């Protein structure tokens, strides 16, 4: 293979987040089933091409268990249709899971050397591009109050909290290049992205996303061998971002039709803050040599555990004392108690929410606003176990690969995604999940062969199995075109319908 061809192959993995995150984000975050067709096909057949065109399909030999876990979760989700009260909704849930399984197999197959750095950079670019578009659209468009989102920033994803967690993940990924960037310009550009992302996070009024960002920063501090550099960079980026955050809060731009400060002024302030952050990063000294000390690492770890425990306690207390989330959790728990072995079937929470009668007080809801509690209720303990194994498997390498550039930031962003998914309905927004899965993949794919180490090709049986899996996912995604079903709370005449918009409560 020629040098240019090797470069294309090495960077092919970047296409997954670069294409899917903005494309899905631009169409309501990929909430509607028609988006699952082309997203699943693109990812699955990218994987199939990768398997066909080379005898060494990326990291598949070393990390085949992760696609296997994705396949297991998909099969169990589909199997739940056998006992589900809402067959069509269970099949819809399986169709969405096809996209996630296809993304996983594509990331693993397309991985080459430096996959972690490539994925971190590509995912940061994808998130930043999408959110900059969302911010400009929000600040310069006529102000209209959405029935569910109010005046906060929510488009084009249609959900403010989804923009909030993407902004938090983007900020964490920016730390990678600011910390490990080899050139001054790269460090400056990534630092400049932080204030606008912080502005999106502020205008989303997503408390859970702020919590996730805090936990993510703690994870980065734990894993990074350069703790003092992390502290210096965070302080450097807070300087330009804090006044911008204050101005956004002071303006009441996301809460009133007559804000104290207009959109163009906020946009100009964001530009000034971005230039300041980039300038400070360019002027700052480069990363210090790797000299971690055991005492320092122990102190950081102890402090981080304390902060995470406190943050989790606050989140649980807040989630249990605010409405309508506490009602969502209450209904989901009783749904599980009624079906403790197998669960009630994927996609059935909306039906139980309607039967509870609480929708008259709090409006419609398709999801329990907690991925883990909803999975327990709908797929039972085995489903929750499969989900946890799928999401946590890549993080097993976080500590061993902590010295690889980008891994600490990727792990921080991945953990932020996992925390937020426990407090909201991220799983139903493929744009968010693809970004989170890309961060998990960056951690998993950090281990690289030594230079000159011979590549070990897959055996024909393994290659054939992987190819069959990828092609099957693509065909299943295409088969979705035969269905007009949409996510709904119920399909029965005795209960009112609850479409996508009612989820935005």
The tens digit of pLDDT for each residue in 332-344 reads 999 999 999 999 9
Q: How confident is the model at residue 312, as a pLDDT?
A: 53
Mean pLDDT of 426-439: 97
N-terminal to C-terminal alpha carbon distance within the chain: 53
* Lowest-confidence segment of 118-122, 137-141, 205-209, 323-327 by average pLDDT: 323-327
Q: How confident is the model at residue 320, as a pLDDT?
A: 46
Confidence of residue 405 (pLDDT cuts 50, 70, 90): confident
Burial class (CB in 10 A: 0-12, 13-18, 19+), 73: buried
Q: What is the CA radius of gyration of the chain?
A: 22
* Lowest-confidence segment of 83-97, 245-259, 341-355, 393-407 by average pLDDT: 393-407
| Better pLDDT: 365 or 40 | 40
Q: Which residues pair with 420 in a beta bridge?
A: none
Closest CA to 314 of 189, 430, 237, 423: 423
pLDDT of 308 > 60? The answer is no
Q: What is residue 494's three-state secondary structure?
A: coil
Pair 131, 82: CB distance under 8 Å: no
Mean pLDDT of 57-80: 91
Q: What is residue 199's three-state secondary structure?
A: helix
Average pLDDT of the chain is 86
Q: Which residues pair with 40 in a beta bridge?
A: none
pLDDT of 451 > 60? The answer is no
pLDDT of 58 > 50? The answer is yes
**Cα angle value 307/428/347 (rounded, 5°):** 115
Question: Percent of the chain beyond pLDDT 70?
Answer: 85
Q: How confident is the model at residue 319, as a pLDDT?
A: 46
| Better pLDDT: 261 or 10 | 261
Burial class (CB in 10 A: 0-12, 13-18, 19+), 363: middle
Alpha-helical regions (H) of 111-226: 115-140, 160-180, 184-204, 207-223
Q: What is residue 150's three-state secondary structure?
A: strand
Confidence of residue 294 (pLDDT cuts 50, 70, 90): very low
Q: How confident is the model at residue 455, as a pLDDT?
A: 58
Confidence of residue 39 (pLDDT cuts 50, 70, 90): very high
pLDDT of 459 > 60? The answer is yes
Q: How confident is the model at residue 184, as a pLDDT?
A: 87
Q: What is residue 22's three-state secondary structure?
A: helix
In angstroms, rounded to a whole number, what is the distance separating the alpha carbons of residues 365 and 348?
11
pLDDT of 423 > 70? The answer is yes
pLDDT of 361 > 90? The answer is no
């Amino acid at each position: 293979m020629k040098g240019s061809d090797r470069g294309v192959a090495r960077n092919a993995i970047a296409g997954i987040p670069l294409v899917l995150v903005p494309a899905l984000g631009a169409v309501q975050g990929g909430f509607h089933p028609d988006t699952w067709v082309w997203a699943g096909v693109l990812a699955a057949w990218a994987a199939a091409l990768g398997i066909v065109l080379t005898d060494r399909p990326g990291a598949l030999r070393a990390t085949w268990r992760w696609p296997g876990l994705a396949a297991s979760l998909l099969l169990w989700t589909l199997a739940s249709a056998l006992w589900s009260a809402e067959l069509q909704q269970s099949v819809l849930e399986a169709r969405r899971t096809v996209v996630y399984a296809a993304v996983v197999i594509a990331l693993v197959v397309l991985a080459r050397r430096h996959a972690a750095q490539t994925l971190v950079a590509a995912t940061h670019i994808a998130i930043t591009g999408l959110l900059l578009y969302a911010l400009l659209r929000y600040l310069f468009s006529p102000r209209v109050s959405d029935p569910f989102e109010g005046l906060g920033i929510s488009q084009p994803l249609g959900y403010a909290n989804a923009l909030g967690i993407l902004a938090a993940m983007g900020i964490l990924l920016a730390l990678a290049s600011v910390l490990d960037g080899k050139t001054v310009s790269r460090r400056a550009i990534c630092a400049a992205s932080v204030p606008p992302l912080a502005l999106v996070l502020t205008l989303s009024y997503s408390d859970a996303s702020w919590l996730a960002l805090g936990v993510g920063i703690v994870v980065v501090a734990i894993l990074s061998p350069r703790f003092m550099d992390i502290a210096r960079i965070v302080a450097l980026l807070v300087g330009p971002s804090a006044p911008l955050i204050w101005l956004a809060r002071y303006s009441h731009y996301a809460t009133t039709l007559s804000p104290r400060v207009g959109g163009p002024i906020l946009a100009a302030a964001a530009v000034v803050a971005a230039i300041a952050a980039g300038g400070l990063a360019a002027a700052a000294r480069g990363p210090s040599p790797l000299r971690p000390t055991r005492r320092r690492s122990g102190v950081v770890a102890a402090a981080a555990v304390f902060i995470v425990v406190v943050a989790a306690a606050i989140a649980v207390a807040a989630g249990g004392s605010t409405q309508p989330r506490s009602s969502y959790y209450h209904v989901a728990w009783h749904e599980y108690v009624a079906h403790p072995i197998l669960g009630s079937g994927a996609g059935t929470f909306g039906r139980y929410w309607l039967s509870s009668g609480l929708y008259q007080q709090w409006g419609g809801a398709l999801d329990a606003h907690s991925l883990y509690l909803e999975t327990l209720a709908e797929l039972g303990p085995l489903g929750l176990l499969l989900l946890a194994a799928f999401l946590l498997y890549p993080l097993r390498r976080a500590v061993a690969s902590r010295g690889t550039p980008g891994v600490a930031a990727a792990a921080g962003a991945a953990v932020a995604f996992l925390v937020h998914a426990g407090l909201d309905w991220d799983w139903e927004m493929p744009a968010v999940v693809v970004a989170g899965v890309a961060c998990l993949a960056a951690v998993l794919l950090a281990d690289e062969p030594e230079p000159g180490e011979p590549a070990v090709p897959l055996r024909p049986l393994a290659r054939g199995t992987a190819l069959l899996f990828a092609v099957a996912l693509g065909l299943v995604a295409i088969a979705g075109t035969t269905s007009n079903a949409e996510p709904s709370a119920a399909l029965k005449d005795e209960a009112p319908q609850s479409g996508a918009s009612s989820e935005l409560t």
